[in-house]
Structure 1
């Protein structure tokens, strides 16, 4: 019958079997990888060789007594106890002592490859191609399902930068990935003039995860690409041979997106600043033109023929009022004199005197009527003359007789001296307007 166990129970049994069989300290040789220090001072790393790896915990109390300072890639001897960390179900070494053995094989190969390629000039700055300031079409060599490409695209979206991104799917881990990436690079060389830049991309990982990017053949193929190249491999602290041969190395895939976005963001900010400047200058210009327009409108209103006629009409009306008032006053005075005479007549009452006075009154009345009529006729004549003058001054009547009015900038032109060559004039006829361009002037001789 099969024994039924919980995860905890099976883990405890494995822990007991492991620790009971290794009941004394062990000494294990390997290379340090994924080295990290916790805030509390404990050191965690992976001890590995070409075929396997094991987790190591170096607690602070043991580390403080150790003279050797651990470094990534060093080959070391780890002396400690084998244990099972039950929460993760992993077996590990609780290190008591770590002794330096030599430089690790991975780092030896890394430094050797780096030395060869650097000597051949593959890292030289003068051989690096310029990355275009404005990039539009991008080829990305990466895993299409990895977090790296997602971070890259998400950063471009956040920056609102629309690039044409073509993902060239490749493996980014394992020995087979090298051939896959090289074959895609060889195909990409046919796309010169189509892609502005090629990005070799992978997210962070351990030394083993990134080891393919230290391959000499891959690095040479990456260097040979005719299209400008960017390496975005691992985290900021990670360096690979491909980083050194690339035309531009960025720390992360997100940094690659930020690098490509920067010119667009700067251009967008510059356009926004220029638009604001144009709006501000246009507003200032508009305000000045409004003030100038108000000035011209005031000038036109002052010299408008209609206003001139209106003022003349007011003067004529005043003359008529004065004339009418003067005639009425004279009539009133005559009536007063008449009443006074009648009073005297009535008071003295001689019939002859009365008749004589009546005769004088009739004569006076006849003279007065004649005088009044003459005065009224004179006033009517003066009024007719003023009306004729008003008609002559009225531009509308002038236009009806075949004449026209010339305007410059909405102001009537009164003299040839007010007109310059290449001025634009407006001519008013009785039935409309026309515009003319001054090409010549002729002064009237005396």
Structure 2
């Protein structure tokens, strides 16, 4: 039992062993997947190495650049390479191998070779960005119109991510009482399967796109090395060409992924996305309240103006009516006073016309008498020409039987006594034969 060690004793032995095994400094090639600085000026990095075929990380180690070293190598590196000392670049650094009893193994950076510049991760990002721009789709999603009221939200996130919980809590429990309808489409947000998972979520959303206003992609932070899927060409292309605006809140404020670049709107964190959506609702509420106040003010002013106008109109109508009645009374009085004279004038005028009218009546009566006399004379001539005497004088005769004119032989029988009237006398005869 004398060989039992405490954890700190074991870690101290490991520390001594590493110093004995790695007494010198070493030049190491690696990719920076994370770079962050502290208040005192120290820089903490994460070195990674990836498999050249699969792209998977096959080695990872913490690195420290103490302030006195970082103040020298950072400006030197950036001046020589023309790019910032940040994640995504491949570097060659001179390091010591260290071990800390609490934080474990790490590499302490002593120097850097600026000639070993852009790493695979950055080069791939630049190639993807260039390809998207050449295809003409880099700005497509940004050109879509984000609805002023963005309530129906399709969310791509891990169901268990703290960022998703923070996002939904902030939306659904907002102090304004705004209503949102977030719908989760679960996806893996890191690891080898994340790309296929996120693309699958996009495809599911596309089937129901008419039910959503926008797509939100959120993740609750993490190391840069775990955010590689957001630099995927396939995901960036899908987002750029998607039919709904895409909003990202991947939760890493030190780096901008390709997905962030092509998205309609990029926010730093899931809660920042929620704040963005809430702020848009607040702007709409403010606009509506302003419009309401404007309408109420305008309506009140209009009612007041119309009230004044009606009062003025009522007063005007009262005065106008009174004046009109007065004028009409004056007209009636004048007419009443002028009526006897007018009547007398009419009578006088008509009396002047009476002789002329009497003459016209007499002429009309004479003309009518002459016309009727002409009619009588014509009738007399017609009667005279149609009389039996006139007819007999023309050589005709009239045969009478018992004083009645015989019109047909059928009226006669043998032995009938007939009288024949001639112009100058009568002849009596007996019917002796009838044929």
User: Which TM-score tier does this pair reach, normalised by the shorter chain?
Assistant: 0.5 to 0.7
| Pair 2,246 (structure 1): closer, same or farther in 2 beyond 3 Å | farther
| SS in structure 2 at match of 1:78 | strand
Indicate whether 1:234 and 2:251 are aligned: yes
Indicate whether 1:181 and 2:198 are aligned: yes
Indicate whether 1:119 and 2:134 are aligned: yes
> Displacement, 1:58?
1.3
Residue 68 of structure 1 corresponds to which residue in structure 2? 77
Please give the TM-score of this superposition, normalised by the length of structure 2. 0.61
Residue 254 of structure 1 corresponds to which residue in structure 2? 271
Question: Is the deviation greater in 97-106 or in 237-246?
Answer: 237-246
Question: Whole-Å Cα distance in 1 between the matches of residues 302 and 129 of structure 2?
Answer: 64
Question: Whole-Å Cα distance in 2 between the matches of residues 280 and 127 of structure 1?
Answer: 38
Question: Whole-Å Cα distance in 2 between the matches of residues 278 and 217 of structure 1?
Answer: 50
| Pair 228,284 (structure 1): closer, same or farther in 2 beyond 3 Å | closer
Question: Is the deviation greater in 219-228 or in 183-192?
Answer: 219-228
8 Å CA contact retained: 1:222, 1:242:
yes
8 Å CA contact retained: 1:63, 1:97:
no
| Pair 270,225 (structure 1): closer, same or farther in 2 beyond 3 Å | closer
The 5-angstrom pairing of residues 128-277 of structure 1 reads 128-156=143-171, 157-158=174-175, 160-273=177-290
Residue 18 of structure 2 corresponds to which residue in structure 1? 18
| SS in structure 2 at match of 1:19 | helix
8 Å CA contact retained: 2:94, 2:109:
yes
Question: Whole-Å Cα distance in 1 between the matches of residues 200 and 29 of structure 2?
Answer: 37
Residue 54 of structure 1 corresponds to which residue in structure 2? 61
Equivalent residue pairs, number: 309
> Displacement, 1:116?
0.8
Question: Is the deviation greater in 43-52 or in 235-244?
Answer: 235-244
| Pair 264,169 (structure 1): closer, same or farther in 2 beyond 3 Å | same
> Displacement, 1:55?
1.1
Indicate whether 1:83 and 2:98 are aligned: yes
> Displacement, 1:71?
3.6
| Pair 19,274 (structure 1): closer, same or farther in 2 beyond 3 Å | same
> Displacement, 1:141?
0.2
> Displacement, 1:276?
6.2
> Displacement, 1:87?
2.6
Deviations 1:32-56 (A, max 9, x none): 2211222222221111111111111
> Displacement, 1:264?
1.7
| Pair 125,273 (structure 1): closer, same or farther in 2 beyond 3 Å | same
| Pair 286,76 (structure 1): closer, same or farther in 2 beyond 3 Å | closer
Indicate whether 1:99 and 2:109 are aligned: no
The 5-angstrom pairing of residues 285-364 of structure 1 reads none
Deviations 1:407-436 (A, max 9, x none): xx9xxxxxxx68x9xxxxxxxxxxxxxxxx
> Displacement, 1:22?
1.4
> Displacement, 1:269?
2.7
| Pair 150,79 (structure 1): closer, same or farther in 2 beyond 3 Å | same
| SS in structure 2 at match of 1:208 | helix
Question: Whole-Å Cα distance in 1 between the matches of residues 94 and 280 of structure 2?
Answer: 54
> Displacement, 1:224?
3.5
Question: Whole-Å Cα distance in 2 between the matches of residues 117 and 285 of structure 1?
Answer: 57
8 Å CA contact retained: 2:157, 2:187:
yes
Question: Whole-Å Cα distance in 2 between the matches of residues 281 and 247 of structure 1?
Answer: 38
> Displacement, 1:282?
9.3
8 Å CA contact retained: 1:139, 1:168:
yes
| SS in structure 2 at match of 1:9 | helix
| SS in structure 1 at match of 2:18 | helix
Q: Which runs of 5+ in 2 are unaligned?
A: 51-57, 79-84, 306-313, 315-320, 334-435
| Pair 42,261 (structure 1): closer, same or farther in 2 beyond 3 Å | same
8 Å CA contact retained: 2:64, 2:107:
yes
RMSD: 3.8
> Displacement, 1:281?
8.7
8 Å CA contact retained: 1:18, 1:82:
yes
8 Å CA contact retained: 2:137, 2:241:
no
Q: Which runs of 5+ in 1 are unaligned?
A: 289-408, 410-416, 421-441
The 5-angstrom pairing of residues 420-431 of structure 1 reads none
